[in-house]
């Protein structure tokens, strides 16, 4: 993949998360290091007539206590998650907000979602069809649309450049972050907020997922021989990205450099992932970063704990990394926070960045027995210290939509 030698470098100056194992990066990362599990019995809706009764729910998120924005208080839960994660990321970045006009039009906000305000829509349908109401709440449409989180965040911080949502199922967050990365690298903007949010835990959504027979009634155990499906979660993961010299000029603390981005489509099947599409996305990210497989220390795997996905991801890694696959540390943090759908790759990107900053690989918990077809080092059950210079984050979505982010150390 040929790249210009004078392309602009892109760095991370802020990150924020809302997750089932912690709100805020410090709490989230501490839980990952300890191998804490955020999966439990669903509390937010009645599951008596459901086969699936577990999920990764965000706990202790009371909007009126967490948010000071009147607009976000009237928003759907997914926009509220995005707003809170963005608030943390922007605060950490040290940006002066709202942005002045000379910076506002040179900034972007790309925040996606896999499903959007589905809880608002389900509530509205209940009002109309079960309770016989004649109308829904007047903000129903604005709360539901998949670009509302991006719009809310752009309003909060005065971002007047490109602003939109991205929808690509479980690859939404890295596609959003990758969009901001490319815009900065190519000179369209100097800084941007990118990531995704999801709050799709509701009775109807769970019934839809249940019908696909990909959910586990027991737990999520990626790459383990006894795995029997994935577990839904909710939350948000947001990064602040900047052009390197822009960040240096204002004295920002740089957390990491986003050095590579790859995306492909399987163009084959809506459900079953391909080895070729996943491996090509990883290879494109490596080529984009001008790195070789032996340079990578850690992969935060997509690792959904479905039978085919885990086997194919393992085979794809082996195809790309060859003999260097044996030296990799891999983990599937979904084992702790669940599958956050569109937001998953956002919080997993944060986990990858933190692994480099602390030289620590979080575990894949719930690993009970080996699967001969999943034969790499998945950091079973306990995290470990190791030097992590470059970290990769994989997202491989329904429809064969693949996106890979590759992070490196903060430039000196």
Three-state secondary structure of 334-387: HHHHCECHHHHHHHHHHHHHHHHHHCEECCECCCCCCECCECCCCCECCCEECC
pLDDT at 412: 83
Average pLDDT, the chain: 96
Record the tokens describing residue 272, joined without a space. Answer: 């079953």
Exposure pattern of 343-366 as b/e (b: 16+ CB <10 Å)? bbbbbbbbbbbbbbeeebbbbbbb
- pLDDT of 3 higher than 50: no
**Of all helices (H) and strands (E), which one includes residue 41?**
strand 40-41
Backbone angles phi, psi at 235, to 5 degrees: 150, -165
The DSSP code for 215 is B
Share of the chain above pLDDT 90, in %: 93
CA separation, residue 241 to residues 43, 51, 86, 259 (Å): 36, 42, 12, 12
pLDDT band at 119 (very low <50, low <70, confident <90, very high): very high
What is the phi-psi region of residue 36: left when phi exceeds 0, alpha when psi lies from -120 to 50, beta otherwise? beta
- pLDDT of 2 higher than 60: no
pLDDT at 5: 57
CA separation, residue 166 to residues 109, 114, 121, 145, 179 (Å): 11, 8, 19, 11, 9
Give the tens place of pLDDT for each residue, 241-276: 999 999 999 999 999 999 999 999 999 999 988 999
**Mean pLDDT score, 42-49:** 96
- Contact between residue 16 and residue 87 where contact means Cβ atoms under 8 Å apart: yes
**Mean pLDDT score, 50-79:** 95
pLDDT at 4: 46
The DSSP code for 324 is G
Exposure pattern of 99-111 as b/e (b: 16+ CB <10 Å)? beeebbebbbbbb
- pLDDT of 397 higher than 80: yes
Helix axes 148-157, 77-93, angle to 10 degrees: 40
Q: What is the pTM of this model?
A: 0.96
Record the tokens describing residue 150, joined without a space. Answer: 């991006």
Architecture of domain 260-408: 3-Layer(aba) Sandwich (3.40)
Share of the chain above pLDDT 70, in %: 99
**Residue 201 C-alpha from the chain's centroid:** 16
If you search the block for the tokens 């129903």, which residue do you land on? 140
- pLDDT of 1 higher than 50: no
- The Cα–Cα gap between 104 and 113 comes to 24
**Mean pLDDT score, 42-70:** 95
Record the tokens describing residue 343, joined without a space. Answer: 């937001």
- The Cα–Cα gap between 187 and 74 comes to 35
User: Is the bond leading into 329 cis (omega within 30 degrees of zero)?
Assistant: no
CA dihedral 349, 355, 356, 359 (to 10 degrees): 180
Record the tokens describing residue 356, joined without a space. Answer: 């480099």
The DSSP code for 287 is H
- Contact between residue 174 and residue 345 where contact means Cβ atoms under 8 Å apart: yes
- pLDDT of 120 higher than 90: yes
pLDDT at 134: 87
Does the domain spanning 11-249 belong to CATH 3.40.47.10?
Answer: yes
The domains of the chain are located at: 11-249, 260-408
- pLDDT of 342 higher than 70: yes
Give the tens place of pLDDT for each residue, 358-382: 999 999 999 999 999 999 999 999 9
pLDDT at 177: 98
If you search the block for the tokens 């039009």, which residue do you land on? 105
pLDDT at 135: 86
The DSSP code for 241 is E
The DSSP code for 329 is E
3-class SS of residue 404 = strand
The two domains 11-249 and 260-408 share their CATH topology (first three levels equal): yes
Give the tens place of pLDDT for each residue, 134-184: 888 899 999 999 999 999 999 999 999 999 999 999 999 999 999 999 999
- pLDDT of 282 higher than 80: yes
Catalytic residue annotation: 170, 302, 339
């Amino acid at each position: 993949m040929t790249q210009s030698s004078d392309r602009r470098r892109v760095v991370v100056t802020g990150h924020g998360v809302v997750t089932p194992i912690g709100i805020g990066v410090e709490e989230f990362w501490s839980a990952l290091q300890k191998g804490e599990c955020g999966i439990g019995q669903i509390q937010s809706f009645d599951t008596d007539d459901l086969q699936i009764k577990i999920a990764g729910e965000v706990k202790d998120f009371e909007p009126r206590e967490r948010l000071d924005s009147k607009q976000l208080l009237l928003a759907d839960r997914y926009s509220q998650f995005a707003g809170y994660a963005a608030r943390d990321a922007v605060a950490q970045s040290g940006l002066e907000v709202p942005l002045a006009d000379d910076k506002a039009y040179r900034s972007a906000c790309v925040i996606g979602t896999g499903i959007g305000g589905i809880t608002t829509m389900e509530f509205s349908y209940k009002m109309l069809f079960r309770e016989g109401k004649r109308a829904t709440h007047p903000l129903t449409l604005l709360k539901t649309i998949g670009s509302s989180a991006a719009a809310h965040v752009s309003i909060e911080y005065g971002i007047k450049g490109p602003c939109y949502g991205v929808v690509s199922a479980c690859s939404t967050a890295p596609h959003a972050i990758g969009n901001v990365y490319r815009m900065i690298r190519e000179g369209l903007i100097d800084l941007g907020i990118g990531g995704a949010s999801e709050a799709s835990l509701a009775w109807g959504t769970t019934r839809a997922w249940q019908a696909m027979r990909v959910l586990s009634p027991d737990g999520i155990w990626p790459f383990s021989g006894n795995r029997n499906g994935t577990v839904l979660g909710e939350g948000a993961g947001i990064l602040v990205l900047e052009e390197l010299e822009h960040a240096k000029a204002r004295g920002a603390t740089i957390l990491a450099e986003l050095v590579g981005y790859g995306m492909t489509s399987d163009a084959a099947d809506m459900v079953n992932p391909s080895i070729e599409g996943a491996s090509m996305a990883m290879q494109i990210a490596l080529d984009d970063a001008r790195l070789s497989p032996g340079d990578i220390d850690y992969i935060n795997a997509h690792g959904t704990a479905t039978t085919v996905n885990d086997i194919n991801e393992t085979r794809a890694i082996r195809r790309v990394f060859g003999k260097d696959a044996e030296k990799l540390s891999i983990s599937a943090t979904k084992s702790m926070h669940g599958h956050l759908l569109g937001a998953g790759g956002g919080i997993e990107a944060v986990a990858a960045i933190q692994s480099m900053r602390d030289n620590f690989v979080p575990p894949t918990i719930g690993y009970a027995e080996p699967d001969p077809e999943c034969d790499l080092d998945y950091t079973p059950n306990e995290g470990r210290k190791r030097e992590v210079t470059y970290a990769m984050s994989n997202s491989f979505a329904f429809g064969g939509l693949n996106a890979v982010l590759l992070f490196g150390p903060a430039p000196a």
